[in-house]
Structure 1
Amino acid sequence: MSRFDENKFRAVTWVQRHIANPLTRRLPFQTVLETTGRKSGLPRRTPVGGRRIGREFWLVSEYGEKSQYVRNIQADPRVRVRIMGKWHTGTAHLVPEDDARARLKSLPRLNSAAVRAVGTNLLTVRVDLTD
């Protein structure tokens, strides 16, 4: 990662962690991914943009394996996703072979534009929903 990308990563993640995420995860219509903290074991809720397609939920991580929720998935792939106010359990899978830029074209426009604008290492994530 270049120095510019590293600085952008730090700035964007600070804003997300301290301002955007605490506000948006409380919105009832916001999609939220809940992982288990790999160190704490506590639930960690992250607002995400993605789309349910059948029994799968697809999203793209803007920072790939540097994203905390991706690192949590690597430690424990059992997750919950709040879609339209309803919680669903599932198992998350990292899909590095997927074309993340092409995937963004099938996901909600506003979030996809933001991910393209700030992302430096895009990674597709698929959640197989069990309920």
Structure 2
Amino acid sequence: MTRPADLRFRATTAFQRHVVNPLARRIPFQTLLETTGRVSGLPRRTPLGGRRVGDAFWLVSEFGERSQYVRNIQADPRVRVRLRGRWHEGTAHLLPDDDPVARLRTLPRGNSAAVRLIGTGLLTVRVDLRG
């Protein structure tokens, strides 16, 4: 990763971790992805954007495999997604062969624009939902 991209990653993740995420997690209908911490074993909730299509929830990680929730998925793909205030269990799949820019065109515009603007290593994630 180039130095500017690394600086952008560090600045963005610090801002999200300490400012945006704590506030967004409190919004009742904010979409959340809950993974299991790969070291702690504790639930980790990340506010994010994406779209449900049938029994799948699609999202694009702005920093790919550097994102903490992606690293947690690699260790344990069992996740929960909160959609419109209701929790759904599922299994997450990382899709490095999917075109994340094309995928973003199918997802909500505001979040997709932010992911394209800030992201440095886009990665598509599909969560197969149960129930």
Using the size of structure 2 for normalisation, the TM-score is 0.99
1:80: Cα distance to partner?
0.1
Amino acid at match of 2:113: A
AA matched with 2:130? T
Q: Which amino acid counterpart does residue 91 of structure 2 have in structure 1?
A: T
**Other structure's SS at 1:17 match:** helix
Deviation string 1:37-96 (CA, Å, 9 cap, x unpaired) is 000000000001000000000000000000000000000000000000000000000000
How far apart, in 1, do the equivalents of 2:25 and 2:116 lie? 21
Gaps of 5+ in 2: none
Number of aligned residues: 131
Is 1:21 the equivalent of 2:21? yes
State the AA in 2 paired with 1:12: T
1:42 match: 42
1:117-128 map, 5 Å: 117-128=117-128
Which stretches in structure 1 are left out of the alignment for 5+ residues? none
Structure 1-normalised TM-score?
Answer: 0.99
User: Which portions of structure 1, spanning 4 or more consecutive aligned residues, are displaced by more than 3 angstroms?
Assistant: none
What's the counterpart of residue 94 of structure 1?
A: 94
Q: SS of 1:22's equivalent?
A: helix
Q: Between the two proteins, what is the percent identity of the paired residues?
A: 72
Cα shift at 1:29: 1.5
RMSD: 0.4
1:17 aligned partner, one-letter code: R
